[in-house]
Amino acid sequence: MKLSRPLAALALCIATLAAGAQNAELPASPSEIKAPSFKTFVAQPPTRLEVHSASGDFAAPLLIIEDHQLPLVFGLLLFEAGSLREPEDKSGLADLYVEGLREGGCSEFTGAEFNSWLDSHAVELSMQMTQDHLRISFSCLREDLEGTLLRVGQLLRSPAFDGRAVEVGRMQILNGIARAKEDSAELATQAMNRVLFGNTSHFGRSATAASVSSIAIDDLKKYHDSNVGLDRVTVGISGDVTAAMGVDIATQALGGLGLVGTASALPTPVFWSPERTTIYVVDRPGVPQTELLLGGIGVRIDDPSHAPLTLWSYVVGAGGMSNRITQRVRTDLGLAYMVGCGFSGGLARPGQFYAYCGTRNEAVGDALSEMLEVITATGSEIIPKEELNAARARLLGSQVFRYDSADEQLERAMTLQVNALPSTFWETNLDRLRQVTPSSVAMAVRNHIPPARFLCVAVGPADEIIPYLETVANVVLLSEDTPIANSSKDAQQAIDTMFTVLGGKERWRDLTSVYTEQVAKITYKAGTAEVPVLQWRTFEPLQIRMRQRMMSGLFFTNVISKGEGWLQAPSGVSSVSADSIQVWKTQMQRWIYYTLHRLAQDESSITVSIDSEGRIVLTEDSGQLCWITLDSLGRPASMGVEERGASKVYTYEEWSEADGFPYISRFKEGENQTIEVSKFVPNVEIEEGTFSL
Amino acid sequence: MISLPTVFIAGLLLATTVTTAPQSPPEGGLEKLEASVIEHQLENGWTFLIVPRAGVPVVSFHTYIDVGGIFEDPGATGMAHMFEHMAFKGSRRLGSKDWSLEKRALSDVDKAYAGLEAVRLAGSAGAISQAEARFTSAQDRAARLVQPEAFSKLLEEAGGSGSLNASTSAEETNYVVSLPSNRLELWCWLERERFADPVLREFYKERDAVLEERRMRVESDPFGALIEQLLGTAFTKHPYRRPVIGYAEDLTRFSRTQAEEFYAKNYGVRRFTTAIVGDVDPKTLVPMLESYFGDFEPGPEPTTVDIVEPTQEAERRVEVEFPAMPIVIAAWHIPGKSHADTTSLEIGLSILGQAQASRLNESLIRNRGLGAEIGSFSGLPGDRYPNLAVVYGIPAPGVPIESLEAGIFEVMTKLQADGPTDEELAGAKTRARANLLRGLASNEDLAASLCEWKSKSGDWHNLFRQTEVVAAVTAKDIQRVFAKYFTKDNRTIATLVPLQETTGGL
């Protein structure tokens, strides 16, 4: 057989090669290949140990995975710190802290001495700040583990934050800020964060020359003293080390770290979804290609929609070349080299949906239209089962590569540890992906990928691209002064949008009574219980009748009406104390439906604003009433209230409709109650005597 | 002790369950690893390097072909890279809804494109418009006969979605994927289809995608734009002067027929080295390789580039105007990888600009505040032939680029005059050893290293000999090679000059 030909026969070459390529002894198609069964693989679990403090009264978790093939060791320290814990007016502090820590030396050695030691021992040391963690990782030769970790420990115990080193770091960060303007992808990401989360949100802000210049060395020290201690770290070591050696060295190196106390709670991101698709243009003159970035809300990894949405993203734009956006925009039309979509994050908080494409300036309208069309088409169809299974195969088939080295296994184990997730978490997540159906994808897409309300950023020469983009959607040229929708002055606009999504203000203004049937699933230390509840409520006046079957099987009924209250127990009827009536009244006032009813009435006693986390805050003269976040469709996603001196968060997981009236069909109250609402009747007729016992 | 985290791979029948550490236990370190490499060359010249690694049931495949941009014909720059893209488009029996119809449709596309090119040279606007319409129509007809992404789909659904990739450099093309180890025969089947029977379908749309890649990597990227001009200035004859991605003028002109010619001329299997590293049994693998690849013809005799770059007689400079902040790159001609001076140069460049406390970092960033980023490397744009050693720098805000440039030369002159300290030299050698070890850790990296050393040095064992070669380098060697190569006459300076005040951003 001839598989190559002289140039003289080029015209026949391909055909001849092809004829020879079909060897009769080999399978004619891949389907004829009998692949052996896969060796089911069980990842090596880490050895779980502890790093004890010098005083012995505290211990930090230490995970070790031994792998002795090569004389190398990988180490990872994750401190619960992160850029989200930098002060509001000090954007860039976390990055400058890392530079100062890494280069600034300590009481035992200077930064230059530290670098020389690392160089001479071939240690690769990396310090980075993620949103949630200070991440210190290193790779070293086996014999240098002790020297490396001891020095890292010394640096962490007594960082000097040498002034000269800090200034060099500051200069490099300022250079990076300036250089970011030459990187379309970076510019697009910054702009997307800004429009998606708002100027004032931790998630929307970017470091500026001014904010970085304002950071003092004392700020770095304060950040260190507040966030970097033994009680905030999880330590991991993998490679050519024994567990005994690892714990010994880690204890020597890190046991002397002080304790800094519990980490402050991190803000929750609030995403913005415009009323109609809006394209924010960032001007980058003189480049021939425009970077397009679509963005929107994602979901937490434990959200029931996470698995369907993940699989959907593999159908639409992730996991290689076999997806719809790549097929359409790149293969069919040749409009892009890099194009795709996916979800980021999702472990600590809802992640982010993104879709991206780089295309020539004159094609930017076509490329964006095609992307939007591919994405929105999936919202109105049931994805064929075969296509979904193919996406599932791509996603699940490559999972084994997340475990093919000791370092990766350690990273996975550390992720579970720092997020307090069970050891079965990854497996459970895979099971969820296996169970995704076309209909569950359709429902998740309908709930989370709002059609015609996309947020888009385009980075390119504004003069050239705006005319093309204006044929696709509303265009806003973004500059430092451009008002962002998700800012405090637009809180009322957010509420107006919310009511539009919820069917208009009028229906909520006219809502005066509600009847619900629901089951509260309550988790206790000892187990779980289900409590069926029937509720009748009126808003004017505020009244409630609640009948519930307790775990004992006995029924209790509460009635609160016009300043009086009664409890009907199996033993008889009794009056409710004045204090309890007040508690009930407060709860009734902060019920989401009553809050929406009041907002719809445009009550002048309520003022609305958006806080630094992008949440809509409702305030009365007496103080904060509550805060509300909205989901990607603009519906309430959560509400936070103060109850009896403590914060309580209601998370609205699922919305449904009853005769066209939207209601929350599943929500969480705090951490341990999930309420499933099976019946919701707005403006129900209340029978006489309902609010008396 | 908490329960073990188990990871079950989806959709696969249960067979043997293996509880395992990620890699094999220690028994002899590097020597054992070297001894485990099996070289098997087929009669046709295709070399396979097999490394069984017990543990996680996965395998990495790396096919390295001694074909890159330097083998392209004038006027067809970017063709090697273009063919790399086309090598994912399937074969007659993979990717076509009806090959007999598609074959005719592709022939129509070729004719329509030839017609379009002809009228572009001499036709009227109306004739060009008509020819474009015929070309578009022919492409549409051919596209309707394509099964989209059939080749990639099979590998991605078999577990390769995170690793399936390819790359092209000035002198080589690499095709890589990692799969669960039970997919070994599928890889063989597909690799055979890819190289025995490639069908270059969807060529012109993919060419448009490559143009977008060029816009991204070169025309919108300050470093990309500067490097292209640097190579075009430093090399006057050798094909290293041409961009691997191709000039835009060539990318908009070359044809599907030319790509088929490039394949026939250059893709003989004597230029192929494939490394297979992971959970494999050579006893079953080798016969499989013989079955799938043994009947390939050797193909054309591998060619080399005979063009010798003339000695540079005087410093050259090139300025690139670009809407970005300043960058300076200084480059010196140095010999190819097989030359005796190469290791001394690499160690010297490591001391100069590749370490945390490198001479350039310490002097120009930390002490004098002239630079924001500085580094050094060699092997631009390849290293098989005499190539470039490079020092690049980004000035600190407000620092004139001339000051940084002068600072770089001062540091180099001092290193040449004084030589490295014992500590610097020892550290550079230790880093070389550690980097070697790190490069052996993963299946993918080991496969890549074995291929490269086999192809470029003729013997993959040289990979494991590197620590000995590095150990022999002395401070005097470094002084000598610095004096020999880092001269003013031998250097080319490329600077990026801001076109205008950067106004973009937020």
pLDDT means over runs of 10, chain B (506 residues): 28 30 47 95 98 93 97 95 97 97 98 95 89 97 97 96 95 97 97 97 97 96 97 98 97 96 96 98 97 95 94 97 95 96 98 96 96 97 97 96 98 98 96 93 96 95 94 98 98 91 47
Distance from CA of A318 to the nearest CA of B (A): 9
Distance from CA of B232 to the nearest CA of A (A): 21
Judge contact between A80 and A133, C-beta under 8 A.
yes
**Token match 């904060």: residue?**
A624
Judge contact between B359 and B348, C-beta under 8 A.
no
- Topology annotation, domain B62-96+146-293: Cytochrome Bc1 Complex; Chain A, domain 1 (3.30.830)
Beta bridge partners of A340: A356
Q: Is B398 on the interface with A (CB under 8 A)?
A: no
Residue A395 structure tokens: 């996603």
CATH fold match for the domains B62-96+146-293 and B316-498: yes
- DSSP character string of A543-608: EEEEEEE-TTS-EEEEEEETTEEEEEETTEEEEPPHHHHHHHHHHHHT-HHHHHHHHHTT-TT-EE
* φ, ψ of residue A504 in degrees (nearest 5): 105, 150
Chain-centroid distance, C-alpha A471: 32
Q: Which CATH number fits domain A47-254: 3.40.960.10, 3.30.830.10, 2.20.25.90, 3.40.50.920?
A: 3.30.830.10
Is the confidence at residue A155, as pLDDT, over 80? yes
Q: Is B178 on the interface with A (CB under 8 A)?
A: yes
Nearest to A182 by CA among B221, B377, B256: B221
CA-to-CA separations, A70 to A60, A64, B35, in angstroms, rounded: 28, 16, 14
Residue A16: band (very low, low, confident or very high) from pLDDT cuts 50, 70, 90 = very low
User: For position A453, what pLDDT does the model report?
Assistant: 79
CA-to-CA separations, B282 to A10, A248, B25, B51, in angstroms, rounded: 37, 41, 20, 8
Residue A9: band (very low, low, confident or very high) from pLDDT cuts 50, 70, 90 = very low
The structural architecture, per CATH, of the domain B316-498 is 2-Layer Sandwich (3.30)
Is the confidence at residue A377, as pLDDT, over 80? yes
Residue A207 structure tokens: 């470091």
Judge contact between A41 and B57, C-beta under 8 A.
yes
Q: Omega of the bond prior to A269 within 30 degrees of 0, cis?
A: no
Nearest to A252 by CA among A438, A68, A53: A53
**H or E segment to which residue A72 belongs:** strand A72-80
In chain A, % of residues over pLDDT 70: 93
Domain ranges of chain A: 47-254, 278-482, 494-682
Single-letter amino acid code for the residue at A47: T
Beta-carbon separation of B25 and A68 below 8 A: yes
Is the confidence at residue A598, as pLDDT, over 70? yes
Q: What is the pLDDT of residues A416-439, one digit of tens each?
A: 999 999 999 999 999 999 999 999
User: For position A621, what pLDDT does the model report?
Assistant: 61
Beta bridge partners of B47: B41, B273
Q: Is B267 on the interface with A (CB under 8 A)?
A: yes
What distance in Å separates the CA atoms of residue A39 and residue B196, rounded to the nearest whole number?
31
Residue A546 CB: number of other CB atoms within 10 A? Answer: 16
Q: Is A27 on the interface with B (CB under 8 A)?
A: yes
According to DSSP, residue B430 is labeled H
CA dihedral B223, B229, B234, B239 (to 10 degrees): 110
Residue A682 structure tokens: 């707005």
Q: Is B294 on the interface with A (CB under 8 A)?
A: no
Beta carbons within 8 Å of A562's beta carbon, 6+ residues apart: A541, A543
**Mean pLDDT to the nearest integer, A327-341:** 96
Domain ranges of chain B: 62-96+146-293, 316-498
Judge contact between A62 and A49, C-beta under 8 A.
yes
Judge contact between A43 and B409, C-beta under 8 A.
no
Residue A95 structure tokens: 């990055």
Distance from CA of A573 to the nearest CA of B (A): 50
- The secondary structure of A350-398, three-state, reads CCEEEEEEEEEHHHHHHHHHHHHHHHHHHHHCCCCHHHHHHHHHHHHHC
Residue A27 CB: number of other CB atoms within 10 A? Answer: 15
Calculate ∠ Cα A301-A305-A306, nearest 5°. 30
The mean-pLDDT minimum among A160-169, A209-218, A263-272, A308-317 falls in A263-272
CA-to-CA separations, B359 to A127, B212, B364, B412, in angstroms, rounded: 22, 39, 8, 8
Residue A634: band (very low, low, confident or very high) from pLDDT cuts 50, 70, 90 = confident
Residue A485: band (very low, low, confident or very high) from pLDDT cuts 50, 70, 90 = low
CA-to-CA separations, A543 to A457, A549, A560, in angstroms, rounded: 48, 20, 6
User: For position A622, what pLDDT does the model report?
Assistant: 66
User: For position A300, what pLDDT does the model report?
Assistant: 84
Beta carbons within 8 Å of A251's beta carbon, 6+ residues apart: A51, A52
Q: Residues of A numbered 178-197 whose beta carbons fall under 8 angstroms of chain B's beta carbons: which are they?
A: 178-182, 184, 187, 190-191, 194
Backbone region of residue A243 per phi and psi (left: phi > 0; alpha: psi in -120 to 50; beta: other values) = alpha
What distance in Å separates the CA atoms of residue B181 and residue B164, rounded to the nearest whole number?
15
Q: Is B208 on the interface with A (CB under 8 A)?
A: yes
Residue A172 structure tokens: 């490099």
Judge contact between A2 and B197, C-beta under 8 A.
no
Which of A5, A115, A336 has the CB atom closest to B209's CB atom?
A336
What distance in Å separates the CA atoms of residue A99 and residue A128, rounded to the nearest whole number?
9
Residue B402 CB: number of other CB atoms within 10 A? Answer: 12
Q: What is the pLDDT of residues B283-296, one digit of tens each?
A: 999 999 999 999 99
Chain-centroid distance, C-alpha B175: 10
Q: Identify the CATH class of A494-682.
A: mainly beta
Residue A41: band (very low, low, confident or very high) from pLDDT cuts 50, 70, 90 = confident
Sign of CA dihedral B360, B363, B364, B366: positive
Residue A383 structure tokens: 């994805």
What distance in Å separates the CA atoms of residue B301 and residue A496, rounded to the nearest whole number?
74
**H or E segment to which residue B435 belongs:** helix B422-441
List, as own/partner pairs, every contact residues A640-645 make where C-beta atoms lie below 8 angstroms and the sequence separation is at least 24, other chains included: A640/A615, A641/A590, A643/A586, A643/A587, A644/A583
Single-letter amino acid code for the residue at A4: S
Best mean pLDDT range from A12-16, A320-324, A671-675, B186-190 = B186-190
Residue B230 structure tokens: 């640097």
The helix/strand/coil state of B236 is: coil
User: For position A227, what pLDDT does the model report?
Assistant: 96
Judge contact between A397 and B10, C-beta under 8 A.
yes
Beta-carbon separation of A283 and B503 below 8 A: yes
Q: What is the pLDDT of residues A660-672, one digit of tens each?
A: 899 999 999 988 8
The helix/strand/coil state of B167 is: strand
Chain-centroid distance, C-alpha B188: 23
Distance from CA of B314 to the nearest CA of A (A): 33
Instruction: Enumerate the H helices of B7-98 as residue ranges.
Output: 29-35, 79-86
- Average pLDDT, whole number, for chain A? 89
What distance in Å separates the CA atoms of residue A465 and residue A330, rounded to the nearest whole number?
20
Q: Identify the CATH class of A278-482.
A: alpha beta
Distance from CA of A5 to the nearest CA of B (A): 7
Nearest to B408 by CA among B330, B315, B320: B330
* φ, ψ of residue A583 in degrees (nearest 5): -60, -45
Please tell me which residue of chain B has the smallest CA distance to A332.
B205
Is the confidence at residue A441, as pLDDT, over 90? yes
Calculate ∠ Cα B315-B318-B323, nearest 5°. 155
Which of B3, B182, B192 has the CB atom closest to A423's CB atom?
B3
Residue A503 structure tokens: 């069917």
The helix/strand/coil state of A1 is: coil
CB–CB contacts below 8 A, A to B: 419
CA-to-CA separations, B257 to A607, B168, B262, in angstroms, rounded: 71, 20, 9
- Residue positions counted in chain A: 693
How buried is residue B43: exposed, middle or buried, by Cβ count under 10 Å (0-12/13-18/19+)?
A: exposed
